[in-house]
Structure 1
Amino acid sequence: MEWVLVGILSTILLCLHFANLRWRRGLPPLPPGPLGFPILGCLPLIGPAPHSSLARLARRYGPIMYLKMGTARAVVASSPSAACSFLKAHDAQFANRPSVVSAKDITYDGQNMVFANYGPRWKHLRKLSALHLLRGRALSNWAPVRSEEVGCMLGAIRDKGRVVLSDELVCMMANVIGRATMSRRVFETQGKEADDFKEMIVELLTGGGLFNIGDFVPAIAWMDLQGVQAKMMRVHQRFDGMITRMVAEHRQTAAEREREGRSDFLDLLMANRHGDDGESLSDVNIKGLIFDLFTAGTDTSSIIIEWAMAEMLRNPGILRRAQEEVDREVGRERRLVEFDIRRLPYLRAVCKEAMRLHPSTPLSLPHFSFEACEVEGYRIPGNTRLLVNIYAIGRDPDVWADPLRFEPERFLPGGRGEGVEPMGSDFELIPFGAGRRICAGKQAGMLMVQYVLGSLIHSFDWRLPDGVLEIDMTEKPGLALPMAVPLSAVAEPRLAPAAYHAL
């Protein structure tokens, strides 16, 4: 009897198999990609620098590449046209985020804005961020804060002479965000607290950029083979402790701000918890959003500025041309102000070139589609992750001539990048991403990069420390892409003494 049942079952399975083959013959093919290994799939091919490994694989398999990683499916877009197909033509389908075990703690289980699934809560968080902090009039209202904190940083650099640039930048950026969101500076001076904060950011971005086996093979996630989940939990506990303490202190001064008629971003968040569609924000959602602002708003902009400074120190002609432009338009009797940026096309070109060659986020945060679709003739199954290789797009020789060369002139009139802007519409340059999930702070981020870099080159002449002959341009891979060896440089004041009095 048992043999009869086995025979019947085998026949049924065989029939289903051939039926499935006949059904699949009528479907478009999957995108090309490596076969991978049993159980782990293509994970062993990725390595510690996923953006670089995936770029090499794309040169072999094409700009739309399919990979089976563990039990998960992934598709990688590595050209402007491929990115446009996914993030414009199929934007709505790929607007979600996958469930990532290693990010469960650090994202408050997907309750923050960056990792929330596309829906009413995400829309409400994004709307409040844009309306009250990151765009338009709200962004203009915080211009005095940006000016004061950049001035404090320039004063500190003038007093020190030799600085580790990223330390000064992260401290300044954190203070800008702290004052705009909670009416307080995070760090009064560059010291242990600021160093600890930067260490947390580095741990987060390094651990968050690893392809954690547990995220792709959930059955063994509990083993935490790479230690990523434990590391992320520790970072979360430190960050959450800092944010919880600052929010509690902020509540204690609410009456004072109300009497003085001044509201900050956190006050406005608390007052607008309830959206028009009935969506309500919890304390966890609000803490998650504050976490997003501090993490995305500090190191990412700082990374671009640091790379730009490193490239200009390696190419003194570019630095001189940028300084000559600022001197011509601003002079040396006062500091650069944000309004000056519109008259500085070469400075803007330097910033774009730094974003092209050294994107702070080399791989987009993963998108996710629950439904199957067809993209450029390929079948993309449901429950598939999408990664856009921003790093590969910026170095694509079919798009950019001599792509490894730092050449701001490519973005000036007559250059191949003339008219290309990094705000999400030109897919040759998408440092902030594109589509519905484009970085909510793209305008603020672009403004800060241009304003801070312009202030640094206008206020100081820069050189390498005595005895240092060259800059180590090695990248430190992770969710972001900082310099492996932070840039240390000597700054010598170049403005009239009166220009520094306001510092």
Structure 2
Amino acid sequence: MRSLNSPTTFATPHLLRSSLRPSYNICYKLKSYSNSHAPGLSISSSTSLIAPMSMQQQQQQPALANLLGAMPAASMISLAFTAAVATAALFVAVAVARYNRKYRGLRLPPGPPGWPIVGNLFQVAFSGKLFIHYIRDLRREYGPILTLRMGVRTLVVISSAELVHEALVEKGAEFASRPAENTTRNIFSSNKFTVNSAVYGAEWRSLRRNMVSGMLSTSRLREFRPARLRAMDRFVARMRAEAAASADGASVWVLRNARFAVFCILLDMTFGLLDLDEEHIVHIDAVLKRVLLAVGVRMDDYLPFLRPFFWRKQLRALAVRREQVDTLLPLINRRRAILRDMQSSPPDPNVAAPFSYLDSLLDLHIEGREGADDELVTLCAELINGGTDTTATAIEWAMARVVDNPSIQARLHEEIMQQVGDARPIDDKDIESMPYLQAFVKELLRKHPPTYFSLTHAAVKPGSKLAGYDVPTDANLDIFLPTISEDPKLWDRPTEFDPDRFLTGGETADMTGSAGIRMIPFGAGRRICPGLAMGTTHIALMVARMLQEFEWRAHPSQPAVDFKDKVEFTVVMNQPLLATVKPRKMSL
């Protein structure tokens, strides 16, 4: 990547390709776009003479004008309608011919019949069901592998442990790529230059190897222990202040406090800057939230001919990208300056950490990439956005289970007292020796995975098959997770929340999927989320610290915890958790 003395530049990424987000979010939002318009957009046409008119043609013009002038208005409307229908019919015929030619000779998985051009797009949008329920219904009719045509996109959805193992483990190299990006997401991924979005190949291997060895290995995660302790102390202080300021002196919102703590940890790990005040952190968080909103799926991702009607949204996305670069680039340049100074003297431990993810990116060299500043912004933002909401929502679900089940809370607190007591804050080293806490986190991720679908996969080359069916290279291979964690053939009492199932002598949970697919909240195979160890560590540590500091109870406004969920950026509680906390007597 760029050297430490590199000037600050911003090169707007080229707009290439078009694609879609993970399918659960795409289809979930279709209704909101079905009635959208593009105000102020006008389409004009002009005509020009290709060749001079002949004398005979010039003589015919007045006669033609007289004929049209004499036609009744109804006839004119009928003529225009006929022309429009003929044009539409021609468009449909061409599209159908292209589709048939594209998939001629292929045996796709079964699925509902679709309409020309739009496929199953409007059937999904106007079904009146959430996409996950629509998929469950289709699964009952077509089985664990099925096809949906969403405009120009073909989705192959698999939903059984056997098929997931075939796709991601047995044939992992065949389905290790990612589908093409849409134009907006391409801006924010610097043309697929991230660990998650890169196509399968040398560039992806370099990016992933750098992230794992430079940030997420066991030894490197231990080095970031001070960042976690700082964030935990700030987190507890915020919770105490919020409770004290509430009307009853005890109420706290779990998600927003947990999210802030996780964001602080990842910001620290990414840039190694320790003197950012809370106002600055909140601003950075707000900008990165706008990025998540900007990459939301639009109808033109499925029907590209509608793209001109979304030009305003594209301009807004470019503005958000500029704001993202303007916000993160000063942090990058500050770290560059610190690294230059570190060559002659150690950094102030209150200002800078000895290492950050950015340091590894500055030393990374990938053939064909210039290492421009906008690429550094993209890779730094990927780590922060990728780990914030998934971890924070898991913590909210965890505390909901604790509030709902006092016996679970009592066992977790008892284990904490046995391990560390109340003489010091619990930390990473302690949670490794706490089997019930580890079992609790596993059961949490089984019952409440961060998403309904894993990140979309794609076939690397033509000829790939699953369960004997063809999977084209331009198809999106989507993995539906709930039916796996709910499968009674894989789990005893799958609908119950029971951490004891994972204790010694109980059920096993290989979250990597390499020993068999039973639960894969982080994906599986070659494209498994590299942040698995980091995510589970953060969840366990924050849950343990919250239970060490506070006794948790249901809030009077929420006497019964509502475990219904909904899709936002992740799968969140339908009703955000408001809880009552009582500080425990601590001798810290």
**Shorter-chain-normalised TM-score: which range?**
0.7 to 0.9
3-state DSSP of counterpart to 1:121: helix
Q: Is 1:215 aligned to 2:301, yes or no?
A: yes
1:79 aligned residue (151, 154, 160): 160
Q: Is 1:183 aligned to 2:183, yes or no?
A: no
Structure 1 residues 470, 169: CA separation in 2 closer, same or farther (over 3 Å shift)? same
Shift of 1:430: 0.7
Q: Is 1:329 aligned to 2:380, yes or no?
A: no
Structure 1 residues 113, 385: CA separation in 2 closer, same or farther (over 3 Å shift)? same
Moved more, 86-95 or 99-108: 99-108
Moved more, 452-461 or 104-113: 104-113
Counterpart contact for 2:263–2:285, Cα < 8 Å: no
1:98 aligned residue (176, 179, 188): 179
Amino acid at match of 2:252: V
Q: Tell me, in whole angstroms, the C-alpha distance in 1 between the residues paired with 2:294 and 2:275.
A: 24
Q: Is 1:387 aligned to 2:465, yes or no?
A: no
Q: Tell me, in whole angstroms, the C-alpha distance in 2 between the residues paired with 1:203 and 1:359.
A: 24
Shift of 1:231: 6.7
Task: Quote the residue 1:9 is aligned against.
Answer: none
Shift of 1:333: 2.5
1:175-198 alpha-carbon deviations (Å, 9 max, x no partner): 212222212248633x6x655555
1:93-137 alpha-carbon deviations (Å, 9 max, x no partner): 222221232422232332222211122222111111111111132
Task: Quote the residue 2:116 is aligned against.
Answer: 38
Q: Tell me, in whole angstroms, the C-alpha distance in 2 between the residues paired with 1:221 and 1:354.
A: 41
Structure 1 residues 38, 317: CA separation in 2 closer, same or farther (over 3 Å shift)? farther
Q: Tell me, in whole angstroms, the C-alpha distance in 1 between the residues paired with 2:486 and 2:295.
A: 23
Shift of 1:482: 2.0
Q: Is 1:447 aligned to 2:529, yes or no?
A: no
Shift of 1:279: 6.3
Amino acid at match of 2:115: F
2:498 aligned residue (386, 389, 407): 407
Task: Quote the residue 1:247 is aligned against.
Answer: 332
Task: Quote the residue 2:430 is aligned against.
Answer: 340
Shift of 1:448: 1.0
Shift of 1:463: 1.6
Amino acid at match of 1:243: L
1:233-257 alpha-carbon deviations (Å, 9 max, x no partner): 5654443332223223333433333
Shift of 1:229: 5.5
Amino acid at match of 2:273: R
1:463-487 alpha-carbon deviations (Å, 9 max, x no partner): 2334432334342314411224332
Shift of 1:213: 2.8
Task: Quote the residue 2:73 is aligned against.
Answer: none
3-state DSSP of counterpart to 2:157: strand
3-state DSSP of counterpart to 1:396: coil
Amino acid at match of 1:473: F
2:358 aligned residue (266, 269, 275): 266
Structure possessing the higher radius of gyration over alpha carbons: 2
Q: Is 1:316 aligned to 2:406, yes or no?
A: yes
Task: Quote the residue 1:4 is aligned against.
Answer: none
Structure 1 residues 252, 176: CA separation in 2 closer, same or farther (over 3 Å shift)? same
Task: Quote the residue 1:13 is aligned against.
Answer: none
Shift of 1:382: 3.1
Give identity over the alignment, percent: 29
Structure 1 residues 280, 440: CA separation in 2 closer, same or farther (over 3 Å shift)? farther
Q: Tell me, in whole angstroms, the C-alpha distance in 2 between the residues paired with 1:116 and 1:303.
A: 26
Shift of 1:228: 7.1
Structure 1 residues 165, 188: CA separation in 2 closer, same or farther (over 3 Å shift)? farther
Q: Is 1:139 aligned to 2:221, yes or no?
A: yes
Shift of 1:329: 2.5
Amino acid at match of 2:109: P
- What is the TM-score with the length of structure 1 in the denominator? 0.84
Q: Tell me, in whole angstroms, the C-alpha distance in 2 between the residues paired with 1:202 and 1:477.
A: 16
Task: Quote the residue 1:156 is aligned against.
Answer: 238
Task: Quote the residue 2:519 is aligned against.
Answer: 429
Amino acid at match of 1:147: L
Counterpart contact for 1:98–1:385, Cα < 8 Å: yes
3-state DSSP of counterpart to 1:67: strand
Q: Tell me, in whole angstroms, the C-alpha distance in 1 between the residues paired with 2:511 and 2:387.
A: 17
Shift of 1:201: 5.5
Q: Tell me, in whole angstroms, the C-alpha distance in 2 between the residues paired with 1:472 and 1:238.
A: 37
Counterpart contact for 2:563–2:573, Cα < 8 Å: yes
- What is the TM-score with the length of structure 2 in the denominator? 0.73
Q: Tell me, in whole angstroms, the C-alpha distance in 1 between the residues paired with 2:316 and 2:409.
A: 40
Q: Tell me, in whole angstroms, the C-alpha distance in 2 between the residues paired with 1:152 and 1:245.
A: 24
Amino acid at match of 2:186: K
Counterpart contact for 2:181–2:192, Cα < 8 Å: no
1:320-373 alpha-carbon deviations (Å, 9 max, x no partner): 222222222322332212112222122112111221121112211211124231
Amino acid at match of 1:269: L
3-state DSSP of counterpart to 2:571: coil
Structure 1 residues 121, 442: CA separation in 2 closer, same or farther (over 3 Å shift)? same
Shift of 1:313: 1.1
3-state DSSP of counterpart to 2:191: coil
Amino acid at match of 1:105: I
3-state DSSP of counterpart to 1:453: helix
Q: Tell me, in whole angstroms, the C-alpha distance in 1 between the residues paired with 2:218 and 2:419.
A: 25
Amino acid at match of 1:248: N
Moved more, 176-185 or 134-143: 176-185
Shift of 1:200: 5.2
Task: Quote the residue 1:257 is aligned against.
Answer: 342
Counterpart contact for 1:432–1:438, Cα < 8 Å: yes
2:553 aligned residue (447, 459, 463): 463
Counterpart contact for 2:177–2:199, Cα < 8 Å: yes
3-state DSSP of counterpart to 2:187: coil
Q: Tell me, in whole angstroms, the C-alpha distance in 2 between the residues paired with 1:200 and 1:395.
A: 37
Counterpart contact for 2:325–2:374, Cα < 8 Å: no
Task: Quote the residue 1:114 is aligned against.
Answer: 196
Q: Tell me, in whole angstroms, the C-alpha distance in 1 between the residues paired with 2:498 and 2:120.
A: 35
Task: Quote the residue 2:62 is aligned against.
Answer: none
Q: Tell me, in whole angstroms, the C-alpha distance in 2 between the residues paired with 1:460 and 1:78.
A: 40
Structure 1 residues 39, 200: CA separation in 2 closer, same or farther (over 3 Å shift)? farther
Amino acid at match of 1:178: L
Shift of 1:142: 0.9
Shift of 1:492: 1.9
Amino acid at match of 1:447: T
Task: Quote the residue 1:287 is aligned against.
Answer: 377
Counterpart contact for 1:71–1:216, Cα < 8 Å: yes
1:369-422 alpha-carbon deviations (Å, 9 max, x no partner): 24231222222233211111123322334433443332222222344xx22132
Provide the alpha-carbon RMSD of the alignment: 3.0
Counterpart contact for 2:270–2:384, Cα < 8 Å: no
Q: Is 1:173 aligned to 2:262, yes or no?
A: yes
